Structure 1
Amino acid sequence: MKTWNELFIRHGWLITEAKENQFSLEGETAENIKYLTSSLEKARVDHFLISGHLFIYQAPISEEKWIDILDFERRGRTENIWEQADISQLDTYIAGIVRQLNSLGFETTSSCDGHSIRSAKAVVKKTKNIEQLITLVTAINDGSITLRESERCYTINFRCSLPQLLNYAEELSLIDCSTLNEDSEAIKKGHFNTLLEELLSINGESRNESKIRSFIRDYLTPFVDHITEDQYGNLLAEKTFRNGNGPTILLNAHLDTFEAFASERTIVKDGPIWSSSNGILGADDRAGIAILLTVAKFLPQTHFNGKVKFVFTVEEEIGLLGARNVNDYFLWGVDAALVVDRRGKGDIVTSCYGAFPFCDKAYSDFIEKVASDSGMPYWKATSGGSSDTKIWAEHNIQSVNLSAGYMNEHTDDETLDIEASYEVTKLVEAIFLKSNELRATLREINNMKRNINRSPLFRKLIT
């Protein structure tokens, strides 16, 4: 369920939330304020205006109901709107993008949400240089956005579903004008930190994971082909890229925290080190979730030719129960797993206390090499404790558990190094960028095992 603030941003209003359900209307036009209040009246939402502020003392309605109210007959059908300030004159699903582009200094001349018939587009005047627009587009691109330059304008094309346009509007709202002169990586890192902070605000101890599961499902849906909740409460999703002839990779983090978050706690930020003002921070495993959601958005931009399966498990903290109850058929065909649920930084966990191996050495050697080639030579294979990784290994899946940047988990002294956490997204992305080498490594492992199984000595030992 979206908050009122999110509903307003996604659908084109440039207002700020001063306090919970209290919004400053400063800077918004009289026409758009009138359209907003009339829409709230149609939704039968109790509200009132006073001194340039909007007050709402009612829970948000669903976005589907909000769209039904906003999407009146023939809204935005003229498409070529030269004055883009009036939300009601813009197509329903692209109004938020247009308003955010204008607020960032990119003056639009026309737009269309495609009406589920063709690609959506926004046409931008050449009032800013192309490098700034490229930076902006690159920061939010998940492989669905293209930019074309002509003599008089830039055209941004969005080849995506209508709901994804609303997500782009929300992402654009997180960008500060001052960052447009920075590279897109800095903007991406800012988006990651915002996502991480939002995840750390959602409670979800073992057996109470519904809110965090719902958030992840909403966030992940645009980036996958299928997503479902299994009979035990795990969130399962998959995406096939191109013809799917490459390896099948499992990406895993867990939904539950060690305990519930303390009421009215705040996140204390000391540079890149985050902690909780009271109780656990919950970076175990909210950091892992943020990393995998960021990777999910990145994957369509790669040339990866295979399948990715996501498993967000419940009840990991009380005995890996969610992972133990994932249906075997979902794991069929999985070649390798990347779990993100390890303290510290630079660890590639390859066994449980050195006694139960998670993978062959060739798999961890491959990840070490990818890290080194990507400027992170300190990533090294090591032994570690119990995690969902053990369950995937029991299914004969090549598996490792990667550090997520947190320390002192399960205690009030828990901290998170957000720089180290963001670095993991770059490592996992680099692994997918070298999927051909990964495929060759997995083939080598399988051939080696096949040869061992065929050897006379092995057959003698098992008979």
Structure 2
Amino acid sequence: MSDLETIISMLSFRRPAESASELEFIKKFIVPLGAQRDTHGNWCLNIGDAPTVLWSSHTDSVHRSEGYQNVDFDGKYITLAVNSKSNCLGADCAAGVWIMTEMIKASVPGMYIFHYAEEIGCRGSRAIAQREPGRLVNIKAAIAFDRKGIDSVITSQRGRCCSDTFGNSVAAQLPSRYRLDPTGVLTDTKQYMHLVPECSNLSVGYYNEHHPHEALDVAHLIELRDHMVKFDQSKLVIERNPFAKPSKPKLKLKSLAGPAFGSRRHRREDNLRDLVYWHPEKVAAFLENEGVTYDQLHDVIYGDRETVSVASLFADLEDLMSGAA
């Protein structure tokens, strides 16, 4: 099959975690390369002796149901076919999987992990980090192919995950539009930030992920592949210390009279509502880490009910947070 035909074939699978169609996708595109399933559900393959770079993607998608779907290609973007009943295209992370299969075929050295259940809490990567951290003892850099757009080298995932020096050494080997981007949120490499010196995530060309109007820029994906199969790991600059305690910026609040409004002495944090109000970014990061998806939270807030009271919203959030893991 041509590159385009293979990418389209991958995107024809709806891949909820642990679904039959996800397993069929794995058997068709990953198993023939020699990958083996570990005890945590990840599919893994090493190329070279004692690899120092971990290449990352994930096999699941946020499709609500398993099976297959039709897609269209307009000469630039792959999208769901008109009148498709699917809730997303699934280029997150089929695009990353394709890049990694191409790198394996080109014998690019590295530890390749096609992660299990990223979309429902990074379960595969979290299991490695928590139960088998020794697997990563020789790994100096963990790079994921799981980012929207066409120009991001992620340097922060709700916290610094790689040094700018490292990010620039990656970008130097990619198409010239790539730049450092500190606005990352969550992918599997975030789970390794406390174990691996440099962790990042690269744009693979999808837009509007997790939604029916998701689209994949095919030309970008193929161009990125062309760079990655020639990637020179000896040019990577490793600088970050994963064991260093992250520094917290000092919050400076000005006040015309008396202590600043919002200082901890002058605000109440007695219940869940207070914590959500005063720490929205931390709450969002917690929900994401625990596997609560945008669609789940959206359904809580904007579901079948025409109005949602504050009390019922937080009751639902409490239920979500207690059962998310």
Q: Match for residue 36 of structure 2?
A: 228
SS of equivalent to 2:172? helix
Larger Rg: 1
Alpha-carbon RMSD: 2.4
Output aligned runs, 1:337-356, within 5 Å. 337-353=142-158, 356=159
The reply on whether 1:382 has 2:187 as its aligned counterpart is: no
The reply on whether 1:237 has 2:237 as its aligned counterpart is: no
Query: Does the 8 Å contact 1:204/1:211 carry over to 2?
Result: no
Q: Match for residue 287 of structure 1?
A: 95
User: Which residue of 39, 46, 55 corresponds with 1:251?
Assistant: 55
The reply on whether 1:398 has 2:187 as its aligned counterpart is: no
- Tell which has more relative contact order, 1 or 2 (C-alpha 8 A, sep 6+): 2
- Counterparts of 2:65 and 2:96 in 1: how far apart (Å)? 17
Output aligned runs, 1:441-456, within 5 Å. 441-442=237-238, 445=239
Deviation per residue, 1:407-438 (Å, 9 max, x gap): 111111111110111122123234x2x33322
Give TM-score, length-normalised by structure 1.
0.47
AA aligned opposite 2:210: H
Length, aligned pairs only: 234
Q: Match for residue 435 of structure 1?
A: 233
For structure 2, the residue ranges without an aligned partner over 5 or more in a row are 246-325
The reply on whether 1:419 has 2:230 as its aligned counterpart is: no
The reply on whether 1:299 has 2:98 as its aligned counterpart is: no
Query: Does the 8 Å contact 2:12/2:69 carry over to 1?
Result: no
Query: 1:360–1:263: structure 2 CA closer, same or farther, 3 Å change rule?
Result: closer
Q: Shift of residue 341 of structure 1?
A: 0.3
- Counterparts of 1:267 and 1:399 in 2: how far apart (Å)? 33
Q: Match for residue 168 of structure 2?
A: 365
- Counterparts of 1:429 and 1:393 in 2: how far apart (Å)? 25
- Counterparts of 1:261 and 1:284 in 2: how far apart (Å)? 16
AA aligned opposite 1:435: Q
- Counterparts of 2:197 and 2:224 in 1: how far apart (Å)? 21
SS of equivalent to 1:352? coil
Output aligned runs, 1:157-236, within 5 Å. 174=1, 191-208=2-19, 209-221=22-34, 227-236=35-44
Q: Shift of residue 348 of structure 1?
A: 0.7
Q: Match for residue 280 of structure 2?
A: none
| Structure that is richer in strand per residue | 1
Give TM-score, length-normalised by structure 2.
0.66
Deviation per residue, 1:55-86 (Å, 9 max, x gap): xxxxxxxxxxxxxxxxxxxxxxxxxxxxxxxx
- Counterparts of 1:215 and 1:393 in 2: how far apart (Å)? 31
